[in-house]
């Protein structure tokens, strides 16, 4: 029996899902479409998204192939510790809602390059606009397409190249309707992906209990916890083989904050959902997303840990092998879903597709927004009409998706295949630039004296520092830094010199500190030369929250603290 097939019932369930999403998207488009809509209305759905639509869209855009496939694969390898990205993100979202979003909305910021232009100058903004386009296409769009197609192919048996094209076409249909269609269809996508994820967890725990001659979810979880104890620790010690990916307390007090704050607070792809709303609605949506984040490990991490234990018990050995016979953690989630009965497998397949398509649509829309509003209108055609900008935005969506297809076909397998963890690939390579970007934003927010020259230093210098800390251990003995969390990598062949590789989260923390110090020094030099800066409109009242929001934030924080205390 070939498990990599979908039955007629599965296809029926999937096409029902497709028809519902497409029909609802068309209804939203026709109901809310305005022939004279402005470019901001098209790209940002200005004033029309509710708090629940914003929250759902944030999660739908975030939970994509790299979550379902990449995070489950990382859970297979390293266990519950990978949940730190989800649970720390819940607290990060609250920080963004309180301190970041008010600044954006008060200063009428609609894109991240616009913020840089307003706070620093056009040069900084243009450099970062081009850079973000490259990052979104080369790292994010490509990885979502490749990992998504890998999963879809693993479940359906369809050729991976065909899956790449079908996913791109499906997402293009959603994206071309604008942010309104994306935002409201994401509500359906989130409901489907959560349902599908819960089904995968149910299946995994039920299988474990049956293998031990018992029944029930609780018994399955007890078996999982007792027989895979090494997979239920949140903080790794230095002797853990996964320390390089999650280096001990750095996940609580180090580079993990840089990763999360940069992703959720300085990322067009994410903040775009809230930038078209008023402050109360935006905060409500972000708090809703924080609550949903607490649930994510149940649907993307737990199945990966369960797949690990089932693998140890003799299952999935053939299904999880790569083309060269290497164990591929990225295949953990698809292998598990292949065991679902007809109909339910189709629903889970729809859930996985929903996650991929929602994320692709959001990413493509952000690419189009930055190119159209921050590059084309600013540097190429300042007199362009809104109608022309909207049409150009639609063309940009198609071009971006086409580039994503070509890149995923050419280098996707080389970078993320053959047993590598796709999620960690995304985190590490994004981490080459995150520290500098975050330093530029955080000082731009809260230190009026930060200059444009300092911002340029953080942009370029941050990347150079990251490359240095990545490459220098191959040539320089850094053993003297070992007490500070650096891990031994290898012994040089004949010289018997210890080499130390820096965990990428630690590297991000060090680079961020260097960027802040560099920005401070350069800004002071500029001030001495009489250089003036462009401030933002900020006052203390902006950061006050309602009692309801504060209560919700305290509940989220309390839950996260409790989870870390239990699984320390």
Q: How confident is the model over 127-175, as pLDDT tens digits?
A: 888 888 888 888 778 878 887 887 788 778 888 889 889 888 888 877 7
Can you tell me the mean pLDDT for 187-213?
80
113 part of a folded domain: no
161 three-state secondary structure = helix
pTM for the predicted model, two decimal places: 0.82
485 located within any domain: yes
Q: Which two tokens stand for residue 344?
A: 């339910």
Neighbours of 157 (CB within 10 A): 13
* Residue position matching structure tokens 């496939």: 69
Angle at 447 between CA 446 and CA 451, to 5 degrees: 130
Q: What is the pLDDT of residue 415?
A: 53
- Using the predicted structure, report yes or no on whether residue 514 has a pLDDT greater than 90: yes
Residue with tokens 């239920």: 232
Residues of the domain holding 513: 431-536
Q: What is the 3-state secondary structure (H, E, C) of 402-414?
A: HHHHHHHHHHHHH
The packing angle between helices 279-300 and 179-211, to 10°, is 30
* For range 358-384, the mean pLDDT: 84
Contact residues for 452 (Cβ-Cβ < 8 A; gap 6+): 120, 121, 123, 124, 533
Residue 429 DSSP symbol: H
What's the average model confidence in pLDDT over 335-356?
A: 78
pLDDT at 178: 64
pLDDT classification of 99: cutoffs 50, 70, 90: very high
Q: Please check whether residue 436 lies inside any domain of the structure.
A: yes
Backbone region of residue 384 per phi and psi (left: phi > 0; alpha: psi in -120 to 50; beta: other values): beta
Tokens matching residue 26 = 């068309």
Range 35-57 average pLDDT: 66
Tokens 């018992």 appear where?
Answer: 214
Whole-number Å distance between alpha carbons of 243 and 486 = 10
**Cα–Cα nearest to 568, from 91, 80, 78:** 80
User: Which SS3 state, helix, strand or coil, does residue 489 take?
Assistant: strand
What's the average model confidence in pLDDT over 293-299? 90
Nearest CA-CA partner of 124 in 368, 460, 399 = 460
Above 90 in pLDDT, residue 290?
Answer: yes
Contact criterion met (CB below 8 Å) for 339 and 3: yes
- The neighbour count for residue 542, using CB atoms within 10 Å, is 15
Residue 444 belongs to some domain of the structure? yes
Give backbone dihedrals phi and psi of 500, rounded to 5 degrees, phi first. -130, 120
* Cβ atoms of residues 370 and 269 within 8 Å: no
pLDDT tens, position by position, 218-235: 888 888 889 989 899 898
Asked whether the beta carbons of 533 and 448 are under 8 A apart, the reply is yes
Neighbour count for residue 490 (Cβ, 10 Å): 12
Q: Give the DSSP H/E element, type plus range, for residue 182.
A: helix 179-211
How many domains does the chain contain in total? 1
Handedness of CA 223, 224, 230, 235 (dihedral sign): negative
Report residue 368 as tokens.
């189009």
Residue 419, Ramachandran bin (φ over 0: left; ψ between -120 and 50: alpha; else beta): left
Residue 256 lies in a domain: no
What average pLDDT does the chain have? Answer: 81
List the structure tokens of 131.
Answer: 């850079």
- Check the CA dihedral 411-415-421-422 and report its sign: negative
**Alpha-carbon gap, residue 44 to 65, rounded angstroms:** 24
Q: Where are the beta strands (DSSP E) in 450-492?
A: 487-491
Residue 487 is assigned to a structural domain of this protein: yes
pLDDT band at 89 (very low <50, low <70, confident <90, very high): very high
What sign does the CA torsion over 3, 9, 15, 18 have?
Answer: negative
Q: Is 16 contained in some domain?
A: no
On the question of pLDDT at 517 being above 90, the answer is yes
Mapped onto helix, strand or coil, the DSSP state of residue 487 is: strand
pLDDT confidence band for 342 (50 / 70 / 90):
confident
Taking the chain, what is the end-to-end CA distance rounded to the nearest angstrom? 42
Dig out the tokens for 437 from the structure.
Answer: 């970007």
Does 59 or 187 have the greater pLDDT score? 59
- 503 lies in some domain: yes
CB 458 within 8 A of CB 491: no
Q: Are 204 and 302 in contact (CB under 8 A)?
A: yes
Three-class secondary structure of residue 502 per DSSP: coil
């Amino acid at each position: 029996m070939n498990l990599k097939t979908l039955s007629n019932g599965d296809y029926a369930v999937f096409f029902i899902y497709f028809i519902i999403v497409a029909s609802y998207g068309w209804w939203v488009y026709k109901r809310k479409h305005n022939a004279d809509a402005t470019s901001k209305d098209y790209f940002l759905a200005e004033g029309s998204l509710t708090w629940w639509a914003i929250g759902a869209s944030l999660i739908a855009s975030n939970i994509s192939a790299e979550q379902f496939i990449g995070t489950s694969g990382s859970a297979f390898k390293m266990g519950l510790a990978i949940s730190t990205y989800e649970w720390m993100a819940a607290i990060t979202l609250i920080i963004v809602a309180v301190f970041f979003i008010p600044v954006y909305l008060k200063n009428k910021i609609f894109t991240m390059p616009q913020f840089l232009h307003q706070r620093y100058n056009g040069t900084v903004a243009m450099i970062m606009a081009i850079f973000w386009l490259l990052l979104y296409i080369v790292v994010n769009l490509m990885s979502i397409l490749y990992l998504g197609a890998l999963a879809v192919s693993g479940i359906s048996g369809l050729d991976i190249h065909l899956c790449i094209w079908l996913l791109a076409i499906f997402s293009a249909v959603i994206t071309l309707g604008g942010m309104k269609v994306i935002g409201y269809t994401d509500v359906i996508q989130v409901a489907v992906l959560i349902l599908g994820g819960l089904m995968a967890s149910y299946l995994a725990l039920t299988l474990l209990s049956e293998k031990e001659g018992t029944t029930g979810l609780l018994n399955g979880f007890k078996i999982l916890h007792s027989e895979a104890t090494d997979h239920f620790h949140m903080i790794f010690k230095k002797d853990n083989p996964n320390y390089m990916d999650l280096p001990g307390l750095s996940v609580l007090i180090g580079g993990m904050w840089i990763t999360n704050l940069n992703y959720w607070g300085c990322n067009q792809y994410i903040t775009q959902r809230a930038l078209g709303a008023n402050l109360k609605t935006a905060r409500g949506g972000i708090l809703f997303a924080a609550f949903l984040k607490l649930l994510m490990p149940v649907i993307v991490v737990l199945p990966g840990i369960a797949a690990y234990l089932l693998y140890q018990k003799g299952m999935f050995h053939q299904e999880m092998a790569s083309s060269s016979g290497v164990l591929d953690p990225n295949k953990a989630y698809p292998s598990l879903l292949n065991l679902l009965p007809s109909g339910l497998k189709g629903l889970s397949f729809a859930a996985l597709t929903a996650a991929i398509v929602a994320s692709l649509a959001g990413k493509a829309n952000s690419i189009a927004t930055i190119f159209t509003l921050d590059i084309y209108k600013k540097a190429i055609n300042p007199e362009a009409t809104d109608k022309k900008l909207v049409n150009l935005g639609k063309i940009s969506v198609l071009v971006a998706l086409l580039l994503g297809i070509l890149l995923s076909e050419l280098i996707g397998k080389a970078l993320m295949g053959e047993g590598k963890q796709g999620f960690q690939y995304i985190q590490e390579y994004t981490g080459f630039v995150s520290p500098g970007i975050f330093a530029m934003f955080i000082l731009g927010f809260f230190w009026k004296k930060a200059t444009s020259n300092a911002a340029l230093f953080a942009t370029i210098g941050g990347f150079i520092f990251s490359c240095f800390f990545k490459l220098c251990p191959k040539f320089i003995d850094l053993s003297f830094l070992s007490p500070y969390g650096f891990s031994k990598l290898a012994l040089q062949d004949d010289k018997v010199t210890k080499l130390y590789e820096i965990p990428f989260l630690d590297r991000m923390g060090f680079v961020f500190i260097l960027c802040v110090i560099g920005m401070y020094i350069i800004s002071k030099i500029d001030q001495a030369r009489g250089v003036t800066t462009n401030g933002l409109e900020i006052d203390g009242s902006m950061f006050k929250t309602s009692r309801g929001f504060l209560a919700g934030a305290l509940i989220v924080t309390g839950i996260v603290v409790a989870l870390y205390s239990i699984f320390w």
